[in-house]
Structure 1
Amino acid sequence: MSQPIPIFYTISDDFAPYAAVAIESLLPYVSSDHQYQIIIVHQGLRQVTRQNLKSLTRDNVEIIFYEINDAKLGAIQNRKENFLRADFFTPSIFYRLFLADLFPQYDKAIYVDSDTVWNGDPAEMFAIALNDDLIGAAPDHSVEHVAPMQTYIKNAVGVPAAEYINSGVLLMNFKQLRQDDFTQHFLYLLQKYHVDCIAPDQDYLNVMCSGRITYLNEKWNAMPKDDEFAAERVADPKLIHYNLFFKPWHFDQVMYDQYFWQAAQKTPYAQQLKTVRAHYTPAMQQLDREKLMSMLNHADELPENPVTFKKLQDQGEQVRLS
């Protein structure tokens, strides 16, 4: 049998039910020709959470827990520039940027957000050649029709909007990331400039890896869209990603929601997830819509900031890993 295929999730305890759905969804698609290692990177998961996730182990699917310590994250400060969607601070979004250094035993790995559901074999994605590219990722189609985000990507992040990738699903060239000192360069930029971002981990990846990204087919990161774009639904998604506010445990009739609930009913969290949906009130849904508008308003403002990735590049700072 070939070397194990490592698949990373980075979670906090409150996101464990969604990680369980993600892992459960994978199980029908794994091949007996491969060994899979699910590595859950976390800070302080409760024992009951570990037991629930560990129960998803199968003969060729191993589940491993790795607790990341504060020493690795000391540079990640709770400041507004590091907020996700200009809304809240969650250090777990940055874990993926440290994985290549934390796991030198792997030369290549898959990283997946926990708000995802598999509908295909991860081995197919893992087999995609990266050569000397740093990552493989799909363009972020969740924002392609959102004018403020398109302007932000072009004029603040400084990459063409059509090339802006979503960081929720990554095929990562750990060997090349280590050779190019990716983590050290990220920390240098973060600590020196504190660039205000909409999606900090994602925006750093976009600018630092620009020109060295293997673009994945959208079927490996199919994201729900509003009803008016229903015609753009991916016909045969291999991996569904409930990005931004399109969560089937918060809203009804989310595109691709059937995949989530099919897997959810098989997890130890089945009833809890149904309760979450039942108790997510119209007022809560309206607050999500308001948060989305707040994010877009912030995206409109950011290109005028004195420090942006685009301005740093225009001034000659080495942001991209050439």
Structure 2
Amino acid sequence: MSMRSEVSLDMSQNPCFFFAADQNYFPYACLAARRVLDVSGPIKGFLLQTGAGAKDLEVGERLLGSAVSILDVSKFMEATNFDPGHLTLATYIRLFADQLPEFEPYDRIVYADSDVLFNRSIADLTHTQLHAPLLAAHDEQSYFDAKYRKHLPMKPGAPKFNAGVLVFNMPLVRREGLLQRTRELSSQHTYGLDQGALNVAFEGRWQTMHPNWNVMTNFSSQISFGKSFARHFTRGKPWSQRSIGVEPEALAIYRQLAKDTPWAGHFARQPRFALKSFTRKLDAITGFLINDEKRKRRSRFDAEQVSRIFADHADRFMMAAQYPERVAGIAR
């Protein structure tokens, strides 16, 4: 494990952030963007959308004001002739950040999924010292579920990042054509869609993000909402019927954000917050009984320990560590 001895292009004095959504996720992207404004200092934002209706657009403009520009990129995306497969074109908007004219003035761009709720100023993230084209968080689930190595053409031991929160160092991204490469890979639909293509294109070219900027509600033991700089609802969504992993305090924030909007009813039910701790306790037994390597690894996984390790890497501005299962204390 070593840091790349590359000169840092510290141009974070000119950052922006953006969300991207189709008509279905547009309300949630608006609320996520509003939350960024509420917890952050002044920073320019964008919400790139396809297909949003007039009423939703009116609500979004009222919530976000001039701080976040809502842009219809439907024609732009259609003109790319990009084949989204079974997903919507909106899923791939982030892969065109190097071609969107609105982003030309910005050297540091933060992208976040619509199901990410920020608790800390996004400006703190944009000012991270960056030595690589990309800043991303390790996908901690990959340390007990390494199936991605079977279908992604990456080096042995290559780590995987989650693409829900990303910081693009745009001068390097443009210089190396990394998003162009990602688009080429995504169009083949053989690398786990956009996230897999991003991992292949940026292999060896991404720096470890502090894990608290992308705390996921996945299959591992869960870091608390209060410790999260940004909570990523990768399992149940705050607006879904099965809100697995959504804490009551997070749902309360969404209710406040959606207050006095047509979207308030999406968050009216009682929270059904549930940790997976009980079933995780059975992993060691069931993993042994059915010889399931994933469950065996997961039984040894300690999210708090792994997060501390990656937080240390982030504090030292390290490139993503190779052989991650050893870093996480999980032997092959």
Same-fold call, TM cutoff 0.5 = yes
The CA distance in 1 between the partners of 2:248 and 2:153, in whole Å, is 33
1:167 matches 2:163: yes
Equivalent positions of 1:191-202 (< 5 A) are 194-198=188-192, 200-202=193-195
Instruction: Give the secondary-structure state (helix, strand or coil) at the position aligned to 2:44.
Output: strand
What stretches of structure 2 of length at least 5 have no aligned partner?
Answer: 1-11, 273-293, 295-332
Pairing 1:258–2:268 present:
no
Counterparts of 1:144 and 1:264 in 2: how far apart (Å)? 34
In 2, Cα distance between equivalents of 1:51 and 1:36: 22
Higher relative contact order (CA 8 A, sep 6+): 1
Gaps of 5+ in 1: 80-87, 281-299, 301-322
2:221 to 226, 229, 235: 229
Cα distance between partner residues in 2 of 1:141 and 1:217: 12
* TM-fit CA distance, 1:259: 1.7
AA in 1 matched with 2:122: P
Identity of aligned residues (%): 21
The answer to whether the 8 A contact 2:28-2:115 is kept is: yes
Structure 2 residue 62 is the aligned partner of structure 1 residue 93: no
Does structure 2 conserve the Cα–Cα contact (< 8 Å) formed by 1:17 and 1:269?
Answer: no
Task: After TM superposition, list the pairs within 5 Å mapping 1:127-166 onto structure 2.
Answer: 127-131=127-131, 133-145=132-144, 147=145, 150-151=146-147, 153-159=148-154, 163-166=159-162
Deviation at 1:16, TM superposition (A): 2.0
Q: For residues 12 and 219 of structure 1, what CA distance do their matches in structure 2 show?
A: 27
Relative to structure 1, the CA distance from residue 224 to residue 269 in structure 2 (aligned partners, 3 Å threshold; closer, same or farther) is: farther
Partner of 1:63: 68
Q: TM-score, normalised by structure 1?
A: 0.70
Post-superposition offset of 1:122: 0.3
User: 2: CA distance between counterparts of 1:72 and 1:274?
Assistant: 31
Equivalent residue in structure 1 for 2:49, among 15, 37, 42 = 42
The aligned counterpart of 1:114 is 114
Indicate the SS of the match to 1:249. coil
Greater mean deviation of Cα atoms: 11-20 or 179-188: 179-188
Task: Give the CA RMSD over aligned residues.
Answer: 2.8
Q: Normalized against structure 2, the TM-score is what?
A: 0.68
Structure 1 pair 190/166, CA: closer, same or farther in 2 (3 Å)? closer
Cα separation, 1, equivalents of 2:176 and 2:208: 20
**Length, aligned pairs only:** 254
1:42 partner letter: Q
Q: Aligned pair 1:11/2:21, yes or no? A: yes
CA distance in 1, matches of 2:264, 2:184: 45
Deviations 1:173-194 (A, max 9, x none): 1121111122333344455xx2
Distance 1:129 1:225 in 2: 28
Q: Contact 1:142–1:224 at 8 Å: present in 2 too?
A: no
Contact 1:9–1:114 (8 Å) recurs in 2? yes
